[in-house]
Structure 1
Amino acid sequence: MIRFAANLSMLFNEVPFLDRFKEARSCGFDGVEFLFPYDYSKAQLKEKLEAENLSQVLFNLPPGNWEKGERGIAGLPGRESEFQHSVEHALEYAEHLGCKRLHVMAGICPEDEQIELCFEVYLNNLAYVCEQASSAGITILIEPINTRSFPGYMLSHQAQARKVIDHLALPNLKLQMDFYHAQIMEGDLTTLIRHQMDYVGHVQIAGVPDRFEPSESEVNYDWIFSELSQTSYDGWTGCEYNPKENTKSSLKWLESAKSYFS
């Protein structure tokens, strides 16, 4: 059965980050995800998860220098040692928090580098992180991200991600399907659901085009949930959106969405 996870980087931002775990539980969430845990200690985060009986569903590897526009370092030539260190750091957090999914951001190919070289580095780094994560039973996820949000991002289409997964053929490498990004880049979401869910290790949702709640969207999420309920996917669906007004009022869609998977 599909379960919904609150993305604490975006939801419940009316309160400080460490208070958002309690807010998520009070609104009926059983799991949480967020972008990055590294500003907080493993002990702090585990305490919050255990206090609210929440599952840590997903977070990202360190992205490089986010403030300077870096959006992942997996595809950046010359940063391989840094990437390997980031893998070690992320796995320490994941094992401590019981998190079984990590998202590896591809990054933006520098203007002075050839995209072919960046992609070769990306593939090699993905093979490395999958090997390191395997013994801990952790799935590595790759996510196509729209180029309107992240111009120049190296992985932006679903077919591109499927080719990466097929090429590496690693059992713990899966697709993170975010319907917000997929709708912006290509649409045809029903076909994606019907024909590629075997690749998918995690789903995320948000309204399009403004990334508000799913009920504020050009996408018919009732249809999407109905289609998902007919697949074999039984993982988490991350609610990764910016509430139009406040988080609690943005969750009116959630109860009806849960009915598709009861």
Structure 2
Amino acid sequence: MIVQTSGGQLRLAANLKWMFTELPFDARFDAAAAAGFTGVEFASPYGLPAARVRDLLNNAGLTQVLINTPGGAAGSATVMGAAYVPGAQDVFREGVERALHYADALGNPIVHVMAGLCPADADPELAFATYVTNIGWAASQARAAGVRIVLEAINKREQPAYGLASMETAGAVAQAVGPDTVGVLFDVYHAQTDRGNVIERFERLAPLVRHVQIADNPGRGEPGTGEIAYERVLARIAASGYSGWIGCEYGPVGDTGEGLKWIEGIRR
């Protein structure tokens, strides 16, 4: 969905994990297309064969714009990713290879490599060094596959043990490893929840931002249900020259279609 704001043009993608949940997952693709979306994202396509997901995309006329690397089983050390977990290198590499296989099958250009939780008994410096090494390896695999990877920090209020300390840390790692292949996933909800100053922080990181996600705070509902001045935030993102997708990673407070009225509020 292309939206013209006062700052310029934006491309909005529906997150099918969070949106249209009043429908079975398979039906959400057509619902997103009917609502005007041309791109979709969702973290984990791995519960379905890649060919089945591709068929759902093709039948709805949609582009898959982002997937995550797989997480481990519930309760495991790698439930939110293995990159930050010393001793889990094989699990990490297997997950990256699986994600790149799906990315190829789906025509998906960007993979979010989840950092994971820093084990409570791990040396923090070793865990961070493990993370940087793992991202370097993932970048080499992604580069060969023609895919970009992105790094995202999750706010510490909700996930205090999540490895990446901040979006600024994600930017520093991307810059060190290779910004041609590695970028930042700038999640406005997490940025506001963690430190605020969303516009200022986005503009500092803008050269490294390859994907954006949005939800309001508090509550993680659609824009307009919380405190974030989304008309201003999105206009500034558009004015920055950012041309990537903006994933609507929010839980509608009611019916998904009714909740899309927020889009009219940001149109020029």
- TM-score class normalised by the smaller sequence: over 0.9
Give the structure 2 partner of residue 243 of structure 1: 252
What does 1:1-262 align with in structure 2 at a 5 Å threshold?
1-68=9-76, 70-257=79-266, 259-260=267-268
Rounded to whole Å, the distance in 1 between the matches of 2:239 and 2:199 is: 12
Rounded to whole Å, the distance in 2 between the matches of 1:100 and 1:240 is: 18
CA contact under 8 A between 1:60 and 1:105: conserved in structure 2?
A: yes
The one-letter code matched in structure 1 to 2:42 is: F
Q: Deviations over 1:98-150 (max 9, x none)?
A: 00000011111111111111111111110111100112221100001101222
Query: Normalising by the residue count of structure 2, what TM-score does the alignment of the two structures yield?
Result: 0.93
Give aligned-pair identity as a percent.
Answer: 39
Question: Which piece of structure 1 moves more, 187-196 or 83-92?
Answer: 187-196
Deviation at 1:67, TM superposition (A): 4.8
Rounded to whole Å, the distance in 2 between the matches of 1:45 and 1:111 is: 37
The one-letter code matched in structure 1 to 2:161 is: G
Rounded to whole Å, the distance in 2 between the matches of 1:112 and 1:195 is: 34
Question: Which piece of structure 1 moves more, 248-257 or 106-115?
Answer: 248-257
CA contact under 8 A between 2:155 and 2:191: conserved in structure 1?
A: yes
CA contact under 8 A between 1:157 and 1:186: conserved in structure 2?
A: no
Deviation at 1:2, TM superposition (A): 2.4
Rounded to whole Å, the distance in 2 between the matches of 1:200 and 1:57 is: 15
Rounded to whole Å, the distance in 2 between the matches of 1:8 and 1:64 is: 21
Rounded to whole Å, the distance in 2 between the matches of 1:34 and 1:86 is: 16
Deviation at 1:168, TM superposition (A): 1.7
Secondary structure class of the residue paired with 2:108: coil
Q: Which runs of 5+ in 1 are unaligned?
A: none
The one-letter code matched in structure 2 to 1:201 is: R
The one-letter code matched in structure 2 to 1:198 is: P
Secondary structure class of the residue paired with 2:211: strand
Matched positions, count = 259
Secondary structure class of the residue paired with 1:22: helix
Rounded to whole Å, the distance in 1 between the matches of 2:175 and 2:50 is: 34
CA contact under 8 A between 2:188 and 2:198: conserved in structure 1?
A: yes
Secondary structure class of the residue paired with 2:145: coil
The one-letter code matched in structure 2 to 1:18 is: D
The one-letter code matched in structure 2 to 1:173 is: V
Q: Which runs of 5+ in 2 are unaligned?
A: 1-8
Rounded to whole Å, the distance in 2 between the matches of 1:249 and 1:172 is: 38
Rounded to whole Å, the distance in 2 between the matches of 1:31 and 1:155 is: 27
CA contact under 8 A between 1:58 and 1:99: conserved in structure 2?
A: yes
